[in-house]
Amino acid sequence: MAVEDIPLPPSRFATNLQLTARRVRIWIRPLLYRVFEYTSSIFPFPDFETRPHIKLEDVGRFARHLAYRVQPREEPDCLINLLRNCGQIINLAIWDDFAMLVQVYPALASLSGLRRLSAGFRGLNQDQVLSPVFLNLTHLDLFGNVNWDLISQFKNLTHLSIADPPHELERVLHLILDSSGCSSLRVVTLFDEPVSYYDLRLVVIRGYYDYLTDWIKGANGRMDSWTFAERIVIARENTPPLPIFPLELERIIFETVLEDVYQELPPSHYALSLQLVAKRVQHWIRPLLYRVYKYPNEGGEPFPDFAANRALNITEIGPLIKHLLHGTSPGSWDGEDPIINVMRHCPSIENLATWCNFDTCANLYPFLSSLLNIKRFSTRLGSFTRDQLLDPFMFRLTHLEVVGFLELDGWTAIAELKSLTHLSTSTAGLGAYESEPVTSLLRMICAPGGCSKLQVLKLYGAAIEGFDDIRIVLFPLTQFSFESSVEDWMAGATGRPDSWSFADQIVYARKMGYITHSPGTIVDPFSFNYREELTAEGSLWWEGEMKKWGM
């Protein structure tokens, strides 16, 4: 909290807090380096030149806000380097050279989480302006001339600031504020610009305006021009009386109701109709309704179905998707896979399952490396090279499920993934290598020099002789079928118990001495009788876990 109270860029006092203790340094570094400011050549932050012990490659991952003022005749190399090393930027300002954006565009286009931008669009072509990195913006502060017909296609834009009003200002305002324009727009700001056009969302801010000071306020969570304009718009609106319940309680009620009816995809008509209650309710539950994308197979209907429902905008819904299942069973898909187009618009994926053929899995690789939040991955890795298996995105994973056969070299690569806590495959997927029997492979994976953080190794298939490790949980091979895998994955994605949570409980029961059978025993979650399998103390614990799941 002490660091949160210190405005950023921080003072020397704030940075010296890191010297208190190593644990304090770990806690506060993400806060200290969340704002990068390069608006002055005298006082940059972080200053990598005068403080060589601070490395961009190290602290760039913490940056969420970056302000950069281009110096006269400056080349783009420095800014490009910053953008490439600060991949989680959500708020970016580039000032004083409105043509700089086109020079750094390739690096900027990879910022999948970018939501706020203050810059000029000079020099960008139509395809660049309408690329996902700009279409996903919610806040845009525009300088210089721009093609407003293109800006009117920014459907996710909620806040727009026009720093340099165009000659035909009223035509532009009508274009973007019309329902067919920027349909999500809530606030438009102008500065000291007299205008006869009237709209509740249009706010003219008068008096001296300092872009840098305002930007720093917003980056530090204080009131900036956006917040001020929002309050003006709210005050103008003739809003209906507040609900009887406090908003926080009302929100909990609707979210709870949705969770009760949100078990299968597509959701029932009742669940979807909850969005029609009120705009605030739609705002609350849309991230829950569309957090899962499911396309089970070629014959099934995807949800959300962007092709059938034109009212659903993939650029708007895509960022809400956290769990994505593309479950086309082997051999049932021969054409170009639509999942590639969907994934382009889903930068927030945390849990991904793709059970398509080897060729399609290989085609997905360029998009996988851009998923900065991915934690769970289930797929066929047989077409991946060793270098691809050791790509940085694989080291973000905590849960990995290997479907199908994988060569020995692939398993040795997986043993190097130190972030894995949960690993799953079938005994057939491990193979029967002449020089490396299955037990040797398991020892390599489970050894301290292998997946050192491994907590659970979930195997489907026959029992394994000669290898006992309490982290191994054997499931019947029938539970690895396509239909069972879809059902199990959906359970986990919608917050219900799945095979991972069941395996976690089995491993914990073994650690506590609640269970007596050996790790080589196959456990079927559907027929597991905890009263017979567990001790009396263990049975009481298991019942408590079931209550946590609402069972």
Q: Provide CB contacts within 8 A for 181, sequence distance 6+.
A: 152, 175
CB 343 within 8 A of CB 370: no
Smallest CA-to-CA distance from 511 within 534, 529, 544 is with 534
Smallest CA-to-CA distance from 120 within 140, 148, 142, 104 is with 142
The span from the CA of 94 to the CA of 38, in Å, is 10
pLDDT at residue 273, as a whole number: 67
pLDDT at residue 334, as a whole number: 44
The span from the CA of 204 to the CA of 525, in Å, is 62
Residue with tokens 């005298």: 42
* pTM, rounded to two decimals: 0.55
The span from the CA of 391 to the CA of 446, in Å, is 21
Residue with tokens 């929002």: 230
CB 361 within 8 A of CB 327: no
End-to-end alpha carbon distance in the chain: 38
- The pairing of strands 422-426 and 472-475 is unpaired
Q: Provide CB contacts within 8 A for 8, sequence distance 6+.
A: 32, 34, 35, 37, 45, 65, 216, 219, 220
Quick: pLDDT tens for 162-216.
888 888 888 888 888 887 788 889 999 988 777 777 888 888 877 656 778 888 8
CB 32 within 8 A of CB 3: yes
pLDDT at residue 462, as a whole number: 67
Q: Provide CB contacts within 8 A for 324, sequence distance 6+.
A: 292, 293, 339, 342, 343, 346, 349, 351, 352, 353
Strand partners, 522: 474
Smallest CA-to-CA distance from 187 within 174, 173, 201, 175 is with 201
The CATH number fitting domain 34-238, selected from 3.30.230, 3.10.580, 3.80.10, 1.10.3470? 3.80.10
| CA distances in angstroms from 124 to 104, 110, 129, listed in the order given | 11, 16, 6
Cα 505 to chain center, whole Å? 27
DSSP reduced 3-state for 318: helix
CB 30 within 8 A of CB 54: no
Cα 78 to chain center, whole Å? 27
Tokens of 496: 């219900």
pLDDT tens digit at each of 551 positions of the chain: 444 444 555 544 445 555 555 666 677 788 888 999 888 766 788 888 777 888 888 888 999 999 998 888 888 898 999 999 999 999 999 988 878 888 999 999 999 999 999 998 988 999 999 999 999 999 999 988 889 999 999 999 999 998 888 888 888 888 888 877 888 899 999 887 777 778 888 888 776 567 788 888 888 888 788 888 888 888 777 655 555 667 778 888 877 777 765 666 667 655 776 776 777 888 888 888 889 988 866 556 778 888 777 778 888 888 999 999 887 644 444 445 567 778 888 889 999 998 876 666 767 778 888 888 999 999 888 888 899 899 998 999 999 999 888 888 888 899 899 899 999 988 665 655 444 556 777 788 888 888 889 999 988 886 676 677 888 888 888 888 888 888 899 889 888 889 999 999 999 999 999 987 777 778 888 888 888 889 999 999 999 888 877 66
Tokens of 381: 């890795």
Backbone angle region of 431, left / alpha / beta, with phi > 0 → left and psi within -120 to 50 → alpha = left
| CA distances in angstroms from 160 to 116, 167, 185, 226, 236, listed in the order given | 10, 17, 8, 9, 18
pLDDT at residue 248, as a whole number: 79
pLDDT at residue 126, as a whole number: 92
Residue with tokens 């890795």: 381
The span from the CA of 424 to the CA of 458, in Å, is 4
Q: HSE (CB half, 13 Å, CA atoms) of 259?
A: 14
Q: What does the radius of gyration of the chain's CA atoms come to, in whole angstroms?
A: 27
Backbone angle region of 331, left / alpha / beta, with phi > 0 → left and psi within -120 to 50 → alpha = left
The residue count of the chain comes to: 551
Q: Is the peptide bond before 9 cis (omega within 30 degrees of 0)?
A: yes
CB 309 within 8 A of CB 316: no
pLDDT at residue 114, as a whole number: 94
Cα 457 to chain center, whole Å? 26
pLDDT at residue 3, as a whole number: 44
DSSP letter at 122 equals T
Burial bucket for residue 151 (CB in 10 Å: 0-12, 13-18, 19+): buried
